[in-house]
Structure 1
Amino acid sequence: MDNYLKRQVYDCLLTWTNHSEHSTLEVSGARQVGKTYIVNKFADEQYRQKIYVNLLEFSGEIFIEHYNDLRREIKDGLSCENPVYELIKRYRPDFVDSDDTVIIIDEIQESAAIYNRIREFTHLLKSDFIIIGSYLGRILNKEFKYSAGDLDSIEIQTLNFEEFLIAMGKHSLYEGIDLYGNSEEAVYEELSDLYKIYTSIGGYPAVVLQYLKNNSIDDCQEVLLRIIKLFINESKRYFQDILDEKVYDNIFSCIARILVKEKKEFEKDSFSEKLQNIVVKDYSSNVSKMSVNRAVDWLSSSGIIGFAGKLPECNILDFKAKSRCYFMDVGLTSYFLMHIGCSEADIAGIVNENFVYLDLRRRIGHPSEIALEIPAFATLGNGEIDFYVKTIKGHKSYAVEVKAGKKNSKTIQTVLERNKADFILFAKGNTHGGIADNVYTIPIYGIGKFLF
């Protein structure tokens, strides 16, 4: 079996390398999302010479030794017109500085000294530079400085549903589907079945490859558990003082419980306070609010969780950040909801909402399609709207309601009556779609194809 999973981010890498300005590219993302693999594949296919350094491996140790030796020699009086060229040449004697050479430095978070030299690398060489990192440690280390200018960035996530369909050889179904009921019944049913698989296993590349190997969801969850344990173990070396191990191991389950229990009334307490209350109640009475805040920021910076804001009374100017939290992979959502004992109905509803959240978050990134810093839900009277969207170009507003079945929300019907939104969008798990005036209904798996 070919282990290559086609990723849409490849086109972003092509756009960067064809850009007229010469800049270093920073590729970031959570652990195990395929950053190293896709960057190396891209480099192998698009450049004549690739020089790869991994700061967590032997190659990185040798590279750092050359850096320290050269730095000491220059301080002792060595005349060196181009120290960056000299460094790369010492590491790789066959190095040719040209626009057909790319230098990749992986696990950049392991060396503040190298990270802080990024601008010099770009200025002093013709070669392209790509740095890869997962933010582990960098947000806590004050030695890391922001490299202003000469730095482009790409964030890699787990496979989205469309990429999953490409891996499954079913992308043509997705491309041809009509969101409003005009495709064949069998097409909707097959995409719905594929969506159920995807939301059960998520999009971590290793998990998707495992499913392609033997179609076993149980085996996929075993791979997912290994990824979770890897992240926890790597995180602990930066957090000796933050939480005891038992609390840290269970913080994901605490977040899952909040998704189920605490979806409303955040005006009194922040998300971190809700999390702290559950942590203290269930695991440890010695956990401070500051510790929980640091843990939440850590999980967010590491690409494990993402935040949603809140718009009281659908007022886009009354934006309240960090009012809700979602996992950045629906496989994680399904896994932890299942392991805290949620019912199938609760799991389906929350996973569907998480799925839509991730799609809206993608649309906020460059080039932005929708407004606000992060996706947001809204309140209206005593009710709640799953997401509230306002477009950048058309300035149109949408109240988005996510449903696992056919039932409609009473609150969402009030939105149009009170002129709180221009359109209603129902994203449902049990529909072929349809349009009635300014109310759109689409299959939830088609949210990525919907044009706001």
Structure 2
Amino acid sequence: MLKRKMYEKLLDWKNNRGQHCLLIKGARQVGKTYIVREFGKSEYKSFIEINFLEHPEFKIIFDGDRSAETIFKNISYNIPNVKLVPHKTLLFLDEIQKCANARTALKFLAQDERFDVIASGSLLGLAYGRDDDKEVEEIESIPVGYEKPIMMYPLDFEEFLWAYGYGKDTISYLKSFYDTKEKVPEQINEKYLSLIREYIVVGGMPEVVADFMENKDFSRVQEIQDKVLASYADDISQHAKGSEKVKVRSCYDSIPRQLARENKKFKYSEIEKKAAARKFGDSIQWLSDASMVNICLNTTTPQLPLKAYEKDNEFKVYMNDTGLLMALYGFTTKQALLNNKLKGAAKGGIYENLVAQMLIQRGYSLHYYKPDDNSELEFVIEKDMEIAPVEVKAGNTATVSLDRFIERFGSANAYKVAGSNVGINGVKLTIPHYMVMFL
């Protein structure tokens, strides 16, 4: 079993849930179902799983009277050998988008408090009415205030290190250099720069990581990633509405090209000549709602709150998993990156995608800053009640844009993320790529 941070979050919810059911969102294949099963079997005397995709006949449990008493009676009628042990049972409602009545019933299950309830499903971020799957039902009443939504992402780099066998003490030792702003011993630094390159290629999809840790075979990595990408393509064809199917797929397929340009701002013309937001804007939103991509918006003013100064017509689009981006680039590009031989603008886009993914996993929202003077900062983040600029370098070149930003705005903290070691120059802290996990 891969160790996941989500497990601790589930434990925290169990111990402090109050009148809340947990609603786990996230892209397909990030391990939502697996982690809940392991949690339920390990932490509860009784674990009941209802998957509405595999067993649509169980929808009848939530028909009619939606009181908790009736629902639990219906469960006992319809599921053989079920054990409902008060305060020691976890009910897992998977693929809940297939049963609108079950989603509505979360309110009454939460109020009842006798049994813990977790719900999850594919593409839960899609607004009802935007999903073309005829089996996805529109909710009569969303249980606002009674469900606690939480996002699950692919494995982050720290979880990748756990899978490799690196423990808490090793990672704490590594973090000490980030905290003290001292250089990491060169041999150790090179080791982790090599490991972050492996993480870029393998990515964080659990099935891919688990197979890689067992076999250390990059050909098998590519095969499993291709399978994940095929499932994403199936999701688009099944869930995007009408003519949006082709447009959503075209937008998704364009991302590797968009990130390989020097200017990585998303351009509709990269999809179709003279195309505009009017045609493809909804498709980008669909991909974001499906958690298949991460959107990074330009901000006109690097001040709190960044959301107040967003330019929603200027943005970058990153893949939700850098390993999937590498799979689209192909095996030869993976080889070049692993050997640190890759050159050109595509390399910069790959490292930007990596940092975007790591920042999202750390809980930051994504913004970049591009004023009119042609300089650009890949990311600006809200950290410690300040705006902190982050410039990303695939190698270790000069930080012209970051230096201009510091000079103009006088930042208290600024970060250069590069393929180098830790270094400090005034307020500018240089950190190697892998240390974004501590940011």
| TM-score with structure 2 setting the length | 0.85
- Segments of structure 1 that go 5 or more residues without pairing to the other structure are 365-369
**Deviation of residue 257 (structure 1)?**
1.7
**Deviation of residue 140 (structure 1)?**
3.5
In the alignment, what sits opposite 1:91? 78
One-letter amino acid matched to 2:84: V
One-letter amino acid matched to 2:166: K
* Alignment partners' CA distance in 2, 1:196 and 1:81: 50
Question: Greater shift after overlay, 333-342 or 407-416?
Answer: 333-342
Matched, 1:408 2:398: yes
Secondary structure in structure 1 of the residue aligned to 2:369 = strand
Give the alignment's Cα RMSD to 1 decimal: 2.8
Secondary structure in structure 2 of the residue aligned to 1:309 = strand
* Alignment partners' CA distance in 2, 1:361 and 1:261: 23
* Alignment partners' CA distance in 1, 2:278 and 2:104: 29
In the alignment, what sits opposite 1:251? 251
Secondary structure in structure 2 of the residue aligned to 1:384 = coil
One-letter amino acid matched to 1:157: Y
Q: Identify which of 148, 155, 160 aligns with 1:159.
A: 155
Q: Is the 2:295–2:315 contact (alpha carbons within 8 Å) kept by the matching residues of 1?
A: yes
**Deviation of residue 160 (structure 1)?**
0.5
In the alignment, what sits opposite 2:270? 278
- Segments of structure 2 that go 5 or more residues without pairing to the other structure are 130-136, 335-341
In the alignment, what sits opposite 2:431? 442
Percent of pairs identical after alignment? Answer: 25
Question: Greater shift after overlay, 120-129 or 323-332?
Answer: 120-129
Higher relative contact order (CA closer than 8 Å, sequence separation 6+):
2
Matched, 1:143 2:138: yes
In the alignment, what sits opposite 1:387? 379
Q: Is the 1:306–1:325 contact (alpha carbons within 8 Å) kept by the matching residues of 2?
A: yes
Matches within 5 A, 1:36-185: 36-57=33-54, 60-68=55-63, 71=64, 82-92=69-79, 94-124=82-112, 126-135=114-123, 138-141=126-129, 143-144=138-139, 145-171=141-167, 172-177=169-174, 178-179=177-178, 180-185=181-186
In the alignment, what sits opposite 1:28? 25
* Alignment partners' CA distance in 2, 1:117 and 1:340: 51
* Alignment partners' CA distance in 1, 2:298 and 2:125: 30
In the alignment, what sits opposite 1:427? 417
In the alignment, what sits opposite 1:367? none
Matches within 5 A, 1:349-368: 349-364=348-363
In the alignment, what sits opposite 1:261? 261
One-letter amino acid matched to 2:259: L
| TM-score with structure 1 setting the length | 0.83
Q: Is the 2:25–2:124 contact (alpha carbons within 8 Å) kept by the matching residues of 1?
A: no
One-letter amino acid matched to 2:27: A
1:34-64, Cα deviation, whole Å (9 max, x unpaired): 100100100111100011111111xx33312
